[in-house]
Homo-oligomer: A and B are copies of this chain.
Amino acid sequence: MNKEERYDLGIKTLKKMISDESLNTIGNMKNISPDFWDMIVGFGYGEVYAREGLSLSKREIVTITSLITQGAFDQLEFHIRAALQVGLSENDIIEIIIQCAAYVGFPKACQAMIIAGKVFQEKE
């Protein structure tokens, strides 16, 4: 797999996870640094998410848990939407956050729950 094939596989993987509109939004990164955008798509989605051996929905359990644990809440909404897209239910996400409460404490779990609540409400 050369660099272009990797990029193409990354875009293909992203399209399974998010809307074209969201893809356009995050694609603005290429105006700041085309190389960094290439790494996000090529490495992140072409080389990591695209791997066999763990489903996209289980990969999103990892992602959401890691974002909550590190307090990276600005990116949580994006990945809660992606998680719902690849097969997790709203209840799965609530359970992930509750499981996190015991492992990272209530402050981060509360903040995650508020963001999840907002995403769920917008989908109705």
A residues contacting B by CB (< 8 A) are 1-3, 29, 31-33, 35-36, 39-40, 43-44, 47-49, 51, 53-54, 58-59, 61-63, 65-72, 74-75, 91-92, 94-111, 113-114, 116-117, 120
Contact = CB atoms under 8 A, between A and B. Distances in A.
This chain: copies in complex: 6
Contacts of A95: 51, 53-54, 59
Contact of A99 (B29, B54, B101): B54
A94 B71 CA distance: 23
A100 B62 contact: yes
Contacts of A91: 53
Contacts of A111: 72, 74-75
Contacts of A44: 102, 106
